[in-house]
A and B are shown apart, each in its own frame.
Chain A
């Protein structure tokens, strides 16, 4: 949404986030090195560095992959999502150190090019016990590299959201490669079963979180509101979605109609319906708030004017808008979108709409 290119749009939250990441990494590496020096003094420095960076990167990877589903399950984790890409780039830098030192340690002292040696020193592809696990790590590292260099919004816009998102979904393949790299690598030589247990617990937690969040999201997508109750001329094509009092002021309610989710916002005495999908990284606008008259995405703060779906000047993002009507206290929504940035008047909330509901409730109580 910036008016000019910046490598990183620093703000207070980003600085705090990055300082926390940096501090954690420094503390972890220090503790690991000290403990190894104490209990395994015969390890060389290269071995300690390889092991410390690998375990740290593995922890960071699990944290990164858990942020997405956690935010779907509980919005309190949203602050972690805000700068997740910084976490990803940090993880890549750490794993690059691991990869570089591993290649130096195991492949650089011969007369063969280290990268050639990486793929040719072990060709037991048919054996699980002797599988060339280092190649798995190399491919995972390559995926992380591509993700890290395209993590900037520049690439999001220039590659197109579809290509960018497809590229970044390769993180799941990379995760599988990392798990197998560990299981077919160091686990084959470590006698202590605690390493297997830790790996298994990490994978189980991730799988569980993603399945819970995924199933919940897909269920929401398949909910169809009891629709088309009356198809008269004035409400042709509209679907009754909720009662106006169900929507909190300056917040929205989301509905899944036809193809995608639509967010109906109540603000300034009116109802506006816009696409639920933020143009930045497909964040759920309906889970955001109206701040300073703008719909604000809860993920990264992108904003849109509710009456036309356009970002406030000088920004240029636009989302689709929809028609919404208010009949009594019933909110009716037309699932047919207007082109992005189309101005729609919205539905005025008359005081009587609200009073009618209150009277109905009081009447029921008296009975």
Chain B
């Protein structure tokens, strides 16, 4: 490398004006050290402070979770003008799913579905399955203990606290 420096004699600038060189090099070395001592204090403070104030980010990146995929087998189904309700399961019924297809917008602001195991039309004895709102397809997981010959569901308006409909199929 030193040998090659011999060949780099041609420089890019030559000016005849006098350069009053101020002998500040020793001071410059001291200034460098002072600056880096300051940075050695400021940078860790800055980094740690920035890490501390990081916001808690939601674990899910999506604004809403993706729709649950439908299980392959339809065990039971009931169809009306406004909706279709189905019980779906996998081939060995180890998993069950309630599918609700809202064909029209609800006339109620919101509705919850309960599984009425006692057949008393009383939600206090019923099992909450899920909530439906706008038009679309809703799927809720069911306990595999819900496999039976017929099903009783209650659609309940919890804002007005009244039963909208009872479904048996």
**Residues of A with Cβ closer than 8 Å to B?**
1-9, 11-13, 78-79, 128-129, 152-154, 156-158, 160-162, 165, 169, 172, 175-176, 179-180, 183-184, 187-189, 191, 196, 199-200, 203, 207, 210-211, 214-215, 217-218, 221, 259-261, 277, 279, 282, 288-289, 291-292, 296, 298, 300-303, 314-316, 340
Contacts and interface: CB of A to CB of B under 8 A. Distances in A.
Interface string B74-90: 00000000000000000
Given A161-B21, A180-B46, A279-B21, 7 more contacts: A169-B32, A188-B55, A210-B36, A211-B33, A221-B26, A296-B5, A300-B8
Contacts of B51: 183, 187, 196
Contacts, number: 161
A218 B29 contact: yes
A221 B29 contact: yes
A158 B18 CA distance: 10
Tell me what chain A mostly uses at the interface: helix, strand, loop, or mixed. mixed
Interface of B: 1-2, 4-17, 19-26, 28-33, 35-37, 39-40, 42-44, 46-47, 49-51, 53-55, 57
A161 B23 contact: no
Contact of A296 (B2, B39, B50): B2
Nearest to A189: B57
A310 to B, nearest CB: 14
B28 to A, nearest CB: 7
Indicate the member of A183, A200, A215, A340 with the most B CB atoms within 10 Å. Answer: A183
A128 B50 contact: yes
A128 to B, nearest CB: 5
Contacts of A189: 57
A158 B15 contact: yes
A232 B17 CA distance: 42
A196 B47 contact: yes
26 contacts: A1-B11, A1-B14, A6-B13, A11-B8, A13-B1, A79-B1, A152-B13, A157-B17, A161-B21, A161-B22, A162-B24, A176-B39, A176-B43, A179-B43, A184-B50, A187-B54, A188-B50, A210-B36, A214-B33, A217-B32, A218-B30, A277-B23, A296-B6, A298-B5, A301-B6, A315-B14
